[in-house]
Chain A
Amino acid sequence: GAGVSQSPSNKVTEKGKDVELRCDPISGHTALYWYRQSLGQGLEFLIYFQGNSAPDKSGLPSDRFSAERTGGSVSTLTIQRTQQEDSAVYLCASSLTSDRAFAFFGQGTRLTVV
């Protein structure tokens, strides 16, 4: 596609349920990022996929959070046993692999845990 696509755009879930958020990066982009945006907290880095390298998971807030990237393209962020503090906008971005690349962002998934 022309841009980074995320689905769903909005998700309301009950506390304790698992959720999956999807990201389709721009075709050919080997780097993919997940961020969480909360009011007053800016963009919190979650995880970074770069080509075939092991992902940088240093930003994942707990073991309830995990992410996969299949075939070097689509990525899924999974949050298990959701808590109210997980409510936020989850943003995905992708970029080329070069020392002068910059990231393109999707519209985000707004997650509300009730």
Chain B
Amino acid sequence: AQSVSQHNHHVILSEAASLELGCNYSYGGTVNLFWYVQYPGQHLQLLLKYFSGDPLVKGIKGFEAEFIKSKFSFNLRKPSVQWSDTAEYFCAVNAPSGNTPLVFGKGTRLSVIA
């Protein structure tokens, strides 16, 4: 069965600092990888996704993530965070066959202070 680990539970950064949130997954086959974001009081929305091809994927709002197959990792990055990036971030994985559910990590809460 798939599993996802997000090692940072709560990250506090000042505005303009760089961000990297870790995500490691456990699954032996081909995977689809996702980052979702949940802003305060809002529903979960897709930030970016990896299906195949270029392992560096770019998402909305300046976020990007790099798939490193050898490390089973899909870390999320942003060079300069803004106060509006304060949210909870979830990494998720499933298999491309569509026969497996989407499995999430426990999430990382990001607080950006002015």
Residues of A within 8 A of B (CB): 31, 33, 35, 40-43, 45, 48, 50, 53, 56, 58-59, 91, 93, 97-108
Q: In the complex, which residues of chain A have a beta carbon less than 8 angstroms from the beta carbon of B49?
A: 102
Question: Which residues on the B side are within 8 Å of A103 (C-beta)?
Answer: 46, 102
| Per-residue interface assignment for chain B, residues 78 to 114, with 1 indicating a CB less than 8 Å from any chain A CB and 0 otherwise | 0000000000001010001111111111110000000
With contact pairs A97-B98, A99-B97, A101-B98 given, residues A35 and B104 touching in the complex (Cβ less than 8 Å):
yes
- Main secondary structure on chain B at its contact with chain A? loop
B61 CB to nearest chain A CB (Å): 17
- Chain A residues with CB under 8 Å of B1's CB are 58
A sample of 17 cross-chain residue pairs with beta-carbon separation below 8 angstroms, ordered by A number, consists of A42-B104, A42-B106, A43-B92, A53-B99, A56-B100, A59-B101, A91-B43, A93-B102, A97-B98, A99-B96, A100-B96, A102-B32, A102-B49, A103-B46, A105-B36, A105-B45, A106-B43
- The answer to whether A43 touches B99 (Cβ under 8 A) is no
The 8 A CB mask of B43-78 against A (1 = contact, 0 = none) is 111100101000000000000000000000000000
Q: How large is the interface on B (under 10, 10 to 19, 20 to 34, 35 or more residues)?
A: 20 to 34
* CB < 8 Å A-B pair total: 59
Is A31 a contact of B98 with CB atoms below 8 Å?
Answer: yes
Which B residues are CB-close (under 8 A) to A108? Answer: 43
B44 cross-chain contacts in A, Cβ below 8 A? 43, 91, 93, 105
Q: Which of B9, B96, B104 contacts A43 (CB 8 A)?
A: B104
Binary flags per residue of B31-45, CB closer than 8 Å to A gives 1, else 0: 010101000000111
Specify which of B34, B96, B102, B106 is in contact with A41 (CB 8 Å cutoff): B106
